[in-house]
Amino acid sequence: MVIPAADLPEDATMPPKELMQLVGVRARATLWHWDRKGIGPTKYVINARTIRYSRSEVRAWLLDGAKRVPRDRTARAGLGGDVALA
């Protein structure tokens, strides 16, 4: 989903490279793939060559994923969804 970012102040956004470092991916194509599937924070297009992500959306997305991941991992390990990883 592409949304124009005319209203966002510069310090409230981050470039794709910074998001890639936070998430731990190496290929920019991963971000494009996620965007097509509706995964992750919203992509803001400032002009034809400049893409940014909202810092607050990235923070919320990462925190939401951090809450969900331990339950998913323990469920796959057969420990039940409410057991925290040690």
Cβ contact 44:8 at 8 Å? yes
pTM of the full structure: 0.62
Question: Which pLDDT does position 2 carry in this prediction?
Answer: 54
Question: Which pLDDT does position 86 carry in this prediction?
Answer: 39
What percent of the chain lies above the pLDDT cut of 90? 9
- Greater confidence (23 vs 77) lies with 23
Cβ contact 83:77 at 8 Å? no
- From CA 33, how far away is CA 60, in angstroms rounded? 20
Question: Which pLDDT does position 43 carry in this prediction?
Answer: 86
Angle at 45 between CA 29 and CA 57, to 5 degrees: 80
The residues facing 22 across adjacent strands are none
The residues facing 53 across adjacent strands are 14, 43
In CATH, the architecture of 2-76 is Orthogonal Bundle (1.10)
